[in-house]
A = this chain, B = another copy of it.
């Protein structure tokens, strides 16, 4: 049994005041409303919903999404997919390139026991995937999608001709099956203004459609065209081009997504619960016990929830300084903070503490925490 206060921050039935801080807490009512809301959007849009598990890394969250109609999950890493598969998730798209011999060997073993698809953007790794699948034998066939760069300037084929040639290489490779297009525009997720975001997506969606048409004109059906995130799924989902959407953050939300216009009305369901450990006499400064090892700051400082007039001013390894001009906080007080960026924040913690009605209802392990290989 995990030991509360050492291995985990609480146990079911605890009042909030008993939770060891800092801890990652989930407002279960808000979380479930977010899941229901996204499931309804996917039904209305007529697209498959494959939420991205890189955000939550939790088999419990993935199961709750699948129970509401999601077709499976996305992962980014083989070890992440493996952790979720071991916990019973059976349909996983690795929305990323897998290229090293060790990772390919693990991927092929995983594909023998779950429905696995993976992406490629270069013929070299396609050859290596084919060789590994063929060597494994047993009639295994691995689904491979072409990842195209639709504007994100990260991985992906760079033009239509490269995409067609790569699709042909996949289709021709023994042991591989061409599965369609991965077209994710990361940079568009956080274009805060909806008009600017729609303009950026108009270009990426048009390029995706052109690419799909060219591949299909070469005789290779794109069984799926997949992509989109919390900031953009309403637009790609309504485009008629995408058959599948991959949002992740909607389940929990974060401060940065909270600033993006018109993304569907999702609620903040994830917080870091922290305690005030110092309030130096004669200052307007409170200091809480949540540092860089409990909250990610790559997308900005956390926001204090439910307490007007108190603001985070800086985060160091183990501390967060708070400006408390009205002296609202006392040493020992708990407060809830909304992380700037949910994905890397969740990965810092070993447990989600699920709250309902002011007490701890459940503890969920962060199943794939640290599974970065």
Contact = CB atoms under 8 A, between A and B. Distances in A.
Contacts of A77: 289, 318
A211 B197 CA distance: 57
Nearest to A76: B318
B21 A373 contact: yes
Interface in A189-225: none
A362 B372 CA distance: 20
Nearest to A370: B350
Contacts of A154: 278, 285, 287, 316, 319, 321
Contacts of A372: 22, 289, 291, 293-294, 318, 348
Contacts of A315: 298
Chain B CB within 10 A, most for which of A276, A281, A283, A350: A281
A11 to B, nearest CB: 12
Contacts of A348: 347-348, 370, 372
A124 interface: yes
Given A298-B315, A317-B54, A343-B292, A153 B99 contact: no
A18 interface: yes
A168 interface: no
A162 B281 contact: yes
Contacts of A316: 154, 186
A280 B149 contact: yes
Contact of A155 (B100, B280, B341): B280
Contacts of A22: 372-373
Contact of A275 (B9, B99, B283): B99
A41 B298 CA distance: 36
Contact of A20 (B54, B162, B373): B373
Interface centre among A20, A97, A156, A293 (most CB of B within 10 A): A293
A90 interface: no
B6 A79 contact: yes
A131 B36 CA distance: 48
A323 B350 CA distance: 34
Contacts of A332: 99-100, 124-125
A156 B278 contact: yes
Interface string A314-336: 01111101000000000110000
Interface in A47-91: 54, 76-77, 79, 82-83
A37 interface: no
Contacts of A83: 6
A103 B297 CA distance: 26
A296 interface: yes
A367 to B, nearest CB: 13
Interface string A124-155: 11000000000000000000000001000111
14 contacts: A5-B106, A18-B102, A97-B277, A99-B332, A100-B275, A149-B280, A154-B319, A154-B321, A157-B280, A158-B281, A162-B281, A297-B298, A317-B343, A347-B348
Given A125-B331, A348-B372, A349-B370, 6 more contacts: A6-B79, A97-B278, A98-B277, A292-B298, A294-B372, A298-B315
